[in-house]
Structure 1
Amino acid sequence: MNQPQPFRAPRPTSATPDIGDGLASSVSRVGALSERGDLHRAIPAEGGWLRCSDLLAEPVGFEHWRKQLSEWLNDQYRAAPARTAASYVMSWYLHVPAHVGALLFHHERRVPSLRPEELAFSLGGDRPHPEGMAVLGDAFYCLPTDPGSTRPEATIVRDEHALAAVLRAHYIAHAARFVRAYAPGSRLGKRMLWAAATDALDNSLWWAGKQAGTAEGEGAGVADASLVLESRFPPLTAPSTLRMETGADGHREWNRRRESCCFSYLLPQEAECDGCPRTCPKN
């Protein structure tokens, strides 16, 4: 597949050497746990990496990304509805700050900077989704009991509620820059974009716990989602929609109602996803 380069990838950067329990240690620990993209401390030497701030500054890059995705959808489904491609790119991009923030919050009780200048990602060679992510900054927020709380790049907050508020604020600030950059070319309304931002954060917190493969781990992820999204925080569109449901076979499991639509149902022989807002009413 011909993969156009929307802009020149940034040169590799190196993080401040980690001489204690700093953010580099956290990234190393949680990187081994991530099942939704490799996590790095700096941009690897190989090409194909995109700094989030560069992409937001040159939104034409999103057009190239949607074109790559449309080619992939045509290969897979013999169809590539524009709304489907735009929605996939929307959700995949928002997954980057949400996933990084959720992993470090859940496993380390730390919140790194989620500024677009300090996050980068790479696209998969086949399916053009974020395959790797890089945390480029050194600063982090933490609790008073954190072993790295005395480091100069650490900012201490009083408790978990305050740390959750930091994560939420940093994520919303990043998402706001994405909405401004992506809305004009995508033809998706701002309500849809903020709904997708809500889904990405709620999902990422849930999956940070769920990937442990235990009911206790999943429950901890659900609790984090409830902590960070305990109510609606505009412009996010809803509190956490995670809820326990009982299936026809009597099995109980956690599910969530989506706020946004991925438009996968527009693809041949595809139906709405579980929890799609088109078929799953609010209650």
Structure 2
Amino acid sequence: MHPSRTPRAVTGGLADSLLRVAGRQQRTELRVDLPGDQDWQLCADLLADPAGFDRWRKLLAGWLREQFGDAPERTTAGYVMSWYLHVPAYAGALLLHHERRVPALRPAELAFRLSSDRPHPDGIAVLGDRFYCLPSDPGSALPTATVVPDERALAAILRARYLAHAGRFVRAFAPRSPLGRRMLWAAATDALDNSLWWAGKQGGTAEAEGAGVADAALVLSTRHAPLTAASTLRLVEGRDGHREWTRRRESCCFSYVLPGETECETCPRICPKG
């Protein structure tokens, strides 16, 4: 059974946080409920019926053939792998960055919608009520809140909740994919590191981006197995001579095997470690 399709009314609860965060970013529609149409996919349903990943990859293959003339199996697997993991990673990163709250990120409490043009998630619904927060949080006394002592503990909660969801994905997707489990966990590492960075970068200032980088360093201060690395964010000199943040990917999207395409600048195939 799906969680409630109507917005929660607990003042100061997680739904209030989501509504505030939704107004501070433009990448993805954020919802606190599921609409009545059939465009939304509950993560728990997809993980329980992994054949849905085959249907997703078939839809993507049609789009890739229209755009590039080919749809290699590794590419469809790589795109779907990264796109799915973006859903729990981005939901968790946004709420940590803007609200210093962490949702449960259970598959039964997350849903997404695929875009009508390119089949990637362009909407995320966070359906659960429970969240983790700091003692200073104004909602810490709510029955849906679990208080942790400090930001390091909150970062550990985000990492643990995300790992639990990502582990479910790896178990469901690995048998239907040409990609190995290390590649899947590398993609899980990328999704979390990227999402923490993007949550700050979308603020549009160097200070906001730096805060996102700091969040990534807090959550991924070292390698936490089965993730494959600590945060790989680093400062480099850009083409205009200014220093800018970048990161080395741990996983490959396999875009380079598409006709006329080459490796991304941050692809682990060509980007040295360190």
Class of the TM-score when normalised by the shorter of the 2 chains: over 0.9
Q: Which residue, out of 232, 241, 246, partners 2:232?
A: 241
CA contact 1:15–1:138 (8 Å) conserved in 2: no
One-letter amino acid matched to 1:16? R
Measured against aligned partners, the alpha-carbon deviations of 1:140-195 in whole angstroms (never above 9, x if no partner) come to: 00000001001000000000000000000000000000000000101210000000
One-letter amino acid matched to 1:109? R
- Equivalent in the alignment of 1:3: none
* Alignment partner of 1:174 is 2:165: yes
Query: SS in structure 1 opposite 2:30?
Result: strand
Compute the displacement of 1:37 (Å): 1.2
After superposition, residues 184-223 of structure 1 pair within 5 angstroms as 184-223=175-214
Question: Could you tell which deviates more after superposition, 130-139 or 9-18?
Answer: 9-18
* Whole-angstrom CA distance in 2 between matches of 1:136 and 1:248: 43
After superposition, residues 6-17 of structure 1 pair within 5 angstroms as 13-17=5-9
- In 2 relative to 1, CA 198–11 (structure 1 residues): closer, same or farther, beyond 3 Å? closer
CA contact 2:42–2:107 (8 Å) conserved in 1: yes
One-letter amino acid matched to 2:194? N
One-letter amino acid matched to 1:173? A
Question: Could you tell which deviates more after superposition, 34-43 or 137-146?
Answer: 34-43
Measured against aligned partners, the alpha-carbon deviations of 1:102-126 in whole angstroms (never above 9, x if no partner) come to: 0000000000110101000011111
* Alignment partner of 1:79 is 2:60: no
One-letter amino acid matched to 1:116? P
After superposition, residues 125-204 of structure 1 pair within 5 angstroms as 125-204=116-195
Which runs of 5 or more residues in structure 1 are unaligned? 1-8
CA contact 2:3–2:128 (8 Å) conserved in 1: no
Query: SS in structure 2 opposite 1:87?
Result: helix
* Whole-angstrom CA distance in 1 between matches of 2:88 and 2:260: 32
Q: Which residue, out of 219, 225, 229, partners 2:216?
A: 225
* Whole-angstrom CA distance in 2 between matches of 1:35 and 1:195: 26
CA contact 1:10–1:50 (8 Å) conserved in 2: no
* Whole-angstrom CA distance in 1 between matches of 2:232 and 2:249: 8
Q: Which residue, out of 19, 24, 33, partners 1:33?
A: 24
Q: Which residue, out of 107, 111, 119, partners 2:110?
A: 119
The sequence identity of aligned pairs, in percent, is 66
Compute the displacement of 1:131 (Å): 1.2
- Equivalent in the alignment of 1:4: none
* Whole-angstrom CA distance in 1 between matches of 2:9 and 2:135: 23
Q: Which residue, out of 93, 107, 110, partners 1:102?
A: 93
Compute the displacement of 1:38 (Å): 0.3
One-letter amino acid matched to 1:114? L
Compute the displacement of 1:206 (Å): 0.1
Q: So what's the TM-score if we normalise by structure 1?
A: 0.94
Query: SS in structure 2 opposite 1:14?
Result: coil
CA contact 2:4–2:127 (8 Å) conserved in 1: no
Compute the displacement of 1:137 (Å): 0.4
Give runs of ≥4 in structure 1 deviating > 6 Å.
none
CA contact 1:31–1:39 (8 Å) conserved in 2: yes
Query: SS in structure 1 opposite 2:47?
Result: helix
Q: Which residue, out of 43, 47, 61, partners 2:38?
A: 47
- Equivalent in the alignment of 2:49: 58
Query: SS in structure 2 opposite 1:243?
Result: strand
Measured against aligned partners, the alpha-carbon deviations of 1:66-111 in whole angstroms (never above 9, x if no partner) come to: 0000000001111111100110000000000000000000000000
CA contact 2:33–2:127 (8 Å) conserved in 1: yes
Which runs of 5 or more residues in structure 2 are unaligned? none
Measured against aligned partners, the alpha-carbon deviations of 1:28-76 in whole angstroms (never above 9, x if no partner) come to: 0001123321000011122211100000000000000000000000011
Superposition CA RMSD, Å: 1.3
* Alignment partner of 1:256 is 2:218: no
